[in-house]
Amino acid sequence: MPTRDYDSFRIRTLTPHLGAEVDGLDLSQPLNDSEIADVRKAWADWGVLVFRNQILDREAHKAFGRYFGELHVHPMNYARSQDPEILIVKTDANSPYTAGDAWHTDVSCDEFPPMASALYITETPEGGGGDTLYADMCLAYELLSPTMQEFLEGLTAVHDGALPYVGAYKSTPPEGGYPRHEHPVIAVHPETGRKVLYVNSGFTSHIKGMSRWESRAILDALFEMIATTPRLIARVEWEPNTLTLWDNRCTQHHAVWDYHPNSRYGERVSVVADTRPAGVSA
Ligand code: SIN
Protein backbone atom coordinates (compact mmCIF):
# COMPACT_ATOMS: atom_id res chain seq x y z
CA MET A 1 0.00 0.00 0.00
CA PRO A 2 1.27 3.50 -0.71
CA THR A 3 2.88 5.56 2.02
CA ARG A 4 2.45 9.30 2.31
CA ASP A 5 4.00 11.95 4.47
CA TYR A 6 2.37 14.46 6.74
CA ASP A 7 4.78 16.79 8.60
CA SER A 8 4.49 14.83 11.87
CA PHE A 9 4.16 11.21 10.70
CA ARG A 10 3.91 8.84 7.77
CA ILE A 11 0.78 6.94 6.81
CA ARG A 12 0.19 3.67 4.98
CA THR A 13 -3.21 3.64 3.32
CA LEU A 14 -5.59 0.68 3.76
CA THR A 15 -7.45 1.35 0.50
CA PRO A 16 -7.10 4.18 -2.04
CA HIS A 17 -10.16 5.97 -0.62
CA LEU A 18 -10.64 4.96 3.05
CA GLY A 19 -8.42 4.16 6.02
CA ALA A 20 -4.77 4.71 6.88
CA GLU A 21 -2.28 3.47 9.45
CA VAL A 22 -0.29 6.20 11.15
CA ASP A 23 3.38 5.57 12.04
CA GLY A 24 5.41 7.79 14.31
CA LEU A 25 3.06 9.14 16.98
CA ASP A 26 3.01 8.12 20.65
CA LEU A 27 -0.50 8.93 21.89
CA SER A 28 0.49 8.40 25.54
CA GLN A 29 2.32 11.75 25.31
CA PRO A 30 0.62 15.12 24.77
CA LEU A 31 0.55 16.05 21.07
CA ASN A 32 1.76 19.49 19.99
CA ASP A 33 -0.34 21.82 17.83
CA SER A 34 1.18 20.76 14.53
CA GLU A 35 0.76 17.06 15.38
CA ILE A 36 -2.91 17.67 16.26
CA ALA A 37 -3.41 19.62 13.02
CA ASP A 38 -1.80 16.77 11.05
CA VAL A 39 -3.98 14.12 12.75
CA ARG A 40 -7.07 16.20 11.95
CA LYS A 41 -5.94 16.61 8.34
CA ALA A 42 -5.19 12.88 7.91
CA TRP A 43 -8.52 12.02 9.57
CA ALA A 44 -10.39 14.29 7.12
CA ASP A 45 -8.42 12.78 4.23
CA TRP A 46 -8.84 9.11 5.18
CA GLY A 47 -11.89 8.82 7.52
CA VAL A 48 -10.33 6.00 9.57
CA LEU A 49 -6.89 6.22 11.22
CA VAL A 50 -5.17 3.25 12.88
CA PHE A 51 -2.48 3.79 15.53
CA ARG A 52 -0.64 0.61 16.58
CA ASN A 53 1.50 -0.19 19.65
CA GLN A 54 -0.07 2.44 21.89
CA ILE A 55 0.08 2.01 25.66
CA LEU A 56 -2.71 4.24 26.94
CA ASP A 57 -4.42 4.66 30.27
CA ARG A 58 -7.94 6.05 30.36
CA GLU A 59 -6.74 9.62 30.91
CA ALA A 60 -4.52 9.47 27.81
CA HIS A 61 -7.35 7.92 25.78
CA LYS A 62 -9.76 10.67 26.84
CA ALA A 63 -7.12 13.37 26.29
CA PHE A 64 -6.72 12.13 22.71
CA GLY A 65 -10.49 12.37 22.17
CA ARG A 66 -10.53 15.92 23.56
CA TYR A 67 -8.22 17.12 20.78
CA PHE A 68 -11.33 16.86 18.59
CA GLY A 69 -13.98 18.29 20.93
CA GLU A 70 -16.16 17.57 23.94
CA LEU A 71 -16.41 13.91 24.94
CA HIS A 72 -19.71 12.13 24.43
CA VAL A 73 -21.54 10.08 27.07
CA HIS A 74 -23.11 7.02 25.48
CA PRO A 75 -26.89 6.72 26.18
CA MET A 76 -26.36 3.20 27.57
CA ASN A 77 -23.89 4.66 30.11
CA TYR A 78 -26.62 6.72 31.80
CA ALA A 79 -26.24 4.82 35.06
CA ARG A 80 -22.44 4.57 35.01
CA SER A 81 -21.05 6.85 37.71
CA GLN A 82 -17.32 6.32 37.07
CA ASP A 83 -15.81 7.38 33.77
CA PRO A 84 -19.14 7.71 31.92
CA GLU A 85 -17.22 8.90 28.82
CA ILE A 86 -15.61 5.46 28.51
CA LEU A 87 -17.74 2.89 26.68
CA ILE A 88 -16.58 -0.64 27.43
CA VAL A 89 -16.61 -2.94 24.39
CA LYS A 90 -16.26 -6.42 25.79
CA THR A 91 -17.27 -9.77 24.35
CA ASP A 92 -16.65 -13.21 25.79
CA ALA A 93 -18.11 -16.71 25.67
CA ASN A 94 -21.14 -15.64 27.72
CA SER A 95 -21.99 -12.44 25.85
CA PRO A 96 -25.51 -12.38 24.43
CA TYR A 97 -24.34 -9.96 21.72
CA THR A 98 -21.29 -8.03 20.63
CA ALA A 99 -21.59 -4.25 20.39
CA GLY A 100 -21.74 -2.92 16.86
CA ASP A 101 -22.51 -6.21 15.12
CA ALA A 102 -24.48 -4.46 12.32
CA TRP A 103 -23.70 -1.65 9.91
CA HIS A 104 -24.09 1.61 11.81
CA THR A 105 -22.70 5.02 12.65
CA ASP A 106 -22.34 5.54 16.37
CA VAL A 107 -25.39 6.85 18.22
CA SER A 108 -26.95 8.48 15.14
CA CYS A 109 -30.15 8.64 17.25
CA ASP A 110 -28.64 11.64 19.10
CA GLU A 111 -29.51 15.17 18.01
CA PHE A 112 -25.76 15.86 17.77
CA PRO A 113 -24.37 12.39 17.01
CA PRO A 114 -20.72 11.76 17.85
CA MET A 115 -18.54 12.97 15.00
CA ALA A 116 -15.54 10.90 16.07
CA SER A 117 -15.01 7.63 17.90
CA ALA A 118 -11.68 6.27 19.12
CA LEU A 119 -11.72 2.58 20.02
CA TYR A 120 -8.71 1.22 21.91
CA ILE A 121 -8.51 -2.57 21.74
CA THR A 122 -6.22 -4.21 24.31
CA GLU A 123 -7.31 -7.86 24.02
CA THR A 124 -7.84 -9.58 20.68
CA PRO A 125 -9.41 -13.04 20.32
CA GLU A 126 -7.12 -16.01 20.60
CA GLY A 127 -7.06 -17.64 17.17
CA GLY A 128 -7.82 -14.43 15.29
CA GLY A 129 -10.99 -12.70 14.12
CA GLY A 130 -12.72 -9.72 15.68
CA ASP A 131 -11.87 -7.30 12.85
CA THR A 132 -13.91 -4.17 12.24
CA LEU A 133 -15.19 -3.27 8.77
CA TYR A 134 -15.56 0.36 7.76
CA ALA A 135 -17.61 1.59 4.78
CA ASP A 136 -17.08 4.86 2.90
CA MET A 137 -20.42 6.68 2.81
CA CYS A 138 -19.19 9.41 0.43
CA LEU A 139 -18.39 6.70 -2.11
CA ALA A 140 -21.75 5.02 -1.34
CA TYR A 141 -23.48 8.28 -2.31
CA GLU A 142 -21.35 8.63 -5.44
CA LEU A 143 -22.21 5.09 -6.59
CA LEU A 144 -25.94 5.89 -6.61
CA SER A 145 -27.48 6.93 -9.93
CA PRO A 146 -28.11 10.68 -10.36
CA THR A 147 -31.85 9.89 -10.32
CA MET A 148 -31.58 8.15 -6.94
CA GLN A 149 -29.27 10.88 -5.55
CA GLU A 150 -31.79 13.56 -6.49
CA PHE A 151 -34.70 11.57 -5.07
CA LEU A 152 -32.97 11.00 -1.71
CA GLU A 153 -31.59 14.53 -1.30
CA GLY A 154 -34.86 16.05 -0.10
CA LEU A 155 -35.69 13.28 2.39
CA THR A 156 -35.43 13.03 6.16
CA ALA A 157 -35.13 9.84 8.20
CA VAL A 158 -35.78 8.94 11.82
CA HIS A 159 -32.92 7.40 13.84
CA ASP A 160 -34.20 5.55 16.90
CA GLY A 161 -31.95 4.40 19.79
CA ALA A 162 -34.54 1.83 20.86
CA LEU A 163 -33.80 -0.16 17.69
CA PRO A 164 -30.34 -1.38 18.78
CA TYR A 165 -30.35 -0.72 22.52
CA VAL A 166 -33.74 -2.31 23.31
CA GLY A 167 -34.40 -4.34 20.16
CA ALA A 168 -30.96 -5.94 19.79
CA TYR A 169 -29.27 -5.48 23.19
CA LYS A 170 -32.40 -5.82 25.43
CA SER A 171 -31.16 -2.93 27.57
CA THR A 172 -33.53 -1.14 29.97
CA PRO A 173 -34.05 2.40 28.68
CA PRO A 174 -33.54 5.48 30.85
CA GLU A 175 -36.60 7.44 31.96
CA GLY A 176 -38.06 9.03 28.85
CA GLY A 177 -36.53 6.40 26.57
CA TYR A 178 -33.48 6.33 24.37
CA PRO A 179 -32.88 9.26 22.00
CA ARG A 180 -34.75 9.46 18.69
CA HIS A 181 -33.99 12.19 16.15
CA GLU A 182 -34.42 13.08 12.50
CA HIS A 183 -31.54 13.60 10.09
CA PRO A 184 -31.26 14.18 6.34
CA VAL A 185 -30.91 11.02 4.25
CA ILE A 186 -28.15 12.74 2.29
CA ALA A 187 -25.94 14.89 4.54
CA VAL A 188 -23.09 17.21 3.68
CA HIS A 189 -19.83 16.63 5.53
CA PRO A 190 -19.14 19.88 7.42
CA GLU A 191 -15.37 19.81 6.79
CA THR A 192 -14.94 18.30 3.34
CA GLY A 193 -18.24 19.50 1.81
CA ARG A 194 -18.75 16.03 0.30
CA LYS A 195 -22.22 14.47 0.16
CA VAL A 196 -22.77 11.41 2.33
CA LEU A 197 -25.40 8.67 2.41
CA TYR A 198 -26.53 9.10 6.03
CA VAL A 199 -28.86 6.20 6.88
CA ASN A 200 -27.74 3.05 8.67
CA SER A 201 -29.33 -0.28 9.47
CA GLY A 202 -28.48 0.01 13.18
CA PHE A 203 -30.52 3.13 13.94
CA THR A 204 -32.59 4.32 10.97
CA SER A 205 -36.19 3.22 11.50
CA HIS A 206 -37.99 4.95 8.63
CA ILE A 207 -38.04 7.75 6.10
CA LYS A 208 -40.55 10.49 6.79
CA GLY A 209 -43.43 11.29 4.46
CA MET A 210 -43.68 7.79 2.96
CA SER A 211 -45.88 4.82 3.60
CA ARG A 212 -44.33 2.12 5.75
CA TRP A 213 -43.73 -0.23 2.79
CA GLU A 214 -42.21 2.52 0.65
CA SER A 215 -39.81 3.54 3.41
CA ARG A 216 -38.90 -0.10 4.15
CA ALA A 217 -38.24 -0.83 0.47
CA ILE A 218 -35.95 2.20 0.02
CA LEU A 219 -34.03 1.64 3.26
CA ASP A 220 -33.63 -2.09 2.61
CA ALA A 221 -32.28 -1.37 -0.87
CA LEU A 222 -29.73 1.12 0.54
CA PHE A 223 -28.71 -1.21 3.38
CA GLU A 224 -28.34 -4.06 0.87
CA MET A 225 -26.10 -1.87 -1.28
CA ILE A 226 -23.87 -1.05 1.70
CA ALA A 227 -23.66 -4.69 2.79
CA THR A 228 -22.93 -6.08 -0.68
CA THR A 229 -20.52 -3.55 -2.21
CA PRO A 230 -17.00 -4.64 -1.20
CA ARG A 231 -15.31 -1.62 -2.78
CA LEU A 232 -16.83 0.59 -0.05
CA ILE A 233 -14.94 -1.30 2.65
CA ALA A 234 -11.67 -0.96 4.58
CA ARG A 235 -10.95 -3.69 7.12
CA VAL A 236 -9.06 -3.07 10.36
CA GLU A 237 -7.30 -6.13 11.77
CA TRP A 238 -6.72 -5.37 15.41
CA GLU A 239 -3.62 -6.22 17.42
CA PRO A 240 -3.51 -5.63 21.18
CA ASN A 241 -2.90 -1.94 21.95
CA THR A 242 -4.30 -0.58 18.70
CA LEU A 243 -6.37 2.61 18.70
CA THR A 244 -8.58 3.35 15.71
CA LEU A 245 -10.14 6.77 15.21
CA TRP A 246 -13.04 7.08 12.76
CA ASP A 247 -15.28 9.78 11.38
CA ASN A 248 -18.93 8.91 12.01
CA ARG A 249 -20.05 11.67 9.64
CA CYS A 250 -18.83 9.87 6.51
CA THR A 251 -18.32 6.21 7.47
CA GLN A 252 -20.25 3.29 8.87
CA HIS A 253 -18.71 0.32 10.65
CA HIS A 254 -19.52 -3.27 11.54
CA ALA A 255 -17.84 -5.32 14.27
CA VAL A 256 -17.35 -8.91 13.11
CA TRP A 257 -18.27 -11.49 15.77
CA ASP A 258 -16.52 -14.51 14.30
CA TYR A 259 -14.54 -15.55 17.40
CA HIS A 260 -17.02 -17.10 19.84
CA PRO A 261 -16.21 -18.49 22.44
CA ASN A 262 -13.03 -16.39 22.58
CA SER A 263 -12.80 -12.92 24.09
CA ARG A 264 -12.09 -9.41 22.90
CA TYR A 265 -11.80 -6.26 25.05
CA GLY A 266 -11.58 -2.57 24.29
CA GLU A 267 -12.73 0.85 25.43
CA ARG A 268 -14.15 3.60 23.27
CA VAL A 269 -14.41 7.35 23.64
CA SER A 270 -16.48 9.45 21.26
CA VAL A 271 -16.60 13.16 20.53
CA VAL A 272 -19.86 15.12 20.25
CA ALA A 273 -20.35 16.93 16.95
CA ASP A 274 -20.69 20.70 17.22
CA THR A 275 -23.29 20.75 14.44
CA ARG A 276 -26.24 18.51 13.56
CA PRO A 277 -25.97 16.52 10.32
CA ALA A 278 -26.97 19.08 7.67
CA GLY A 279 -28.77 18.32 4.43
CA VAL A 280 -27.95 19.46 0.92
CA SER A 281 -30.18 22.53 0.99
CA ALA A 282 -29.22 23.65 4.54
C1 SIN B 1 -18.45 -0.04 17.89
O2 SIN B 1 -19.48 -0.06 17.23
O3 SIN B 1 -17.97 1.00 18.29
C4 SIN B 1 -17.72 -1.32 18.19
C5 SIN B 1 -16.79 -1.62 17.08
C6 SIN B 1 -15.95 -2.82 17.38
O7 SIN B 1 -16.01 -3.36 18.49
O8 SIN B 1 -15.19 -3.21 16.51
Domain CATH code at residue 93: 3.60.130.10
Kindly state the greatest CA–CA separation across the chain.
53
The number of beta carbons lying within 10 Å of the beta carbon of residue 205 is 18
Cα–ligand 1 centroid distance for 132 (angstroms): 7
pLDDT in tens, 115-124: 999 999 999 9
Which of 85, 252, 268 is the best mutation target for the ligand 1 pocket, counting ligand atoms within 8 Å of the beta carbon and taking the most? 268
Contact 32, 5 (CB under 8 A): no
**Active site (annotated) includes residue 181:** no
Q: How many CB atoms lie within 10 A of CB 33?
A: 8
Catalytic residue among 61, 74, 106, 249: 106
pLDDT of residue 216: 98
pLDDT at position 173 is: 83
- Between the alpha carbon of residue 18 and those of residues 58, 176, 247, the distances in Å are 27, 38, 11
CA distance 148 to 15: 26
Instruction: Summarize the confidence of residues 62-74 as an average pLDDT.
Output: 96
Pairing mode, strands 87-91 and 48-51: unpaired
Question: pLDDT by residue (tens digit) across 251-278?
Answer: 999 999 999 999 999 999 999 999 999 9
| Average pLDDT score, the chain | 95
Shortest-distance atom of ligand 1 to CA 236: 8
From the candidates 61, 74, 104, 159, which is the catalytic residue? 104
Q: Whose CA is nearest to atom 1 of ligand 1?
A: 100
pLDDT band with cut points at 50, 70 and 90 for residue 3: low
Give the DSSP H/E element, type plus range, for residue 187: strand 186-188
Instruction: Say how far apart CA 166 and CA 27 lie, in whole Å.
Output: 35
Q: Does any domain span residue 281?
A: no
Whether 247 is catalytic is no
Q: Is the pLDDT of residue 282 over 70?
A: no
Let me know if residue 3 belongs to a domain. Answer: no
- 222 φ/ψ angles, rounded to the nearest 5 degrees: -65, -40
> What pLDDT score does 259 carry?
98
The verdict on residue 67 lying in a domain is yes
Q: For residue 84, is it within any domain?
A: yes
Q: Which of 186, 189, 210 is nearest to 199 (CA)?
A: 186
| pLDDT reading at 2 higher than 70 | no
Atom index in ligand 1 nearest the CA of residue 119 equals 3
Task: For residue 82, give its domain range.
Answer: 10-272
In the set 183, 253, 254, 264, the catalytic residue is 253
Domain count, the chain: 1
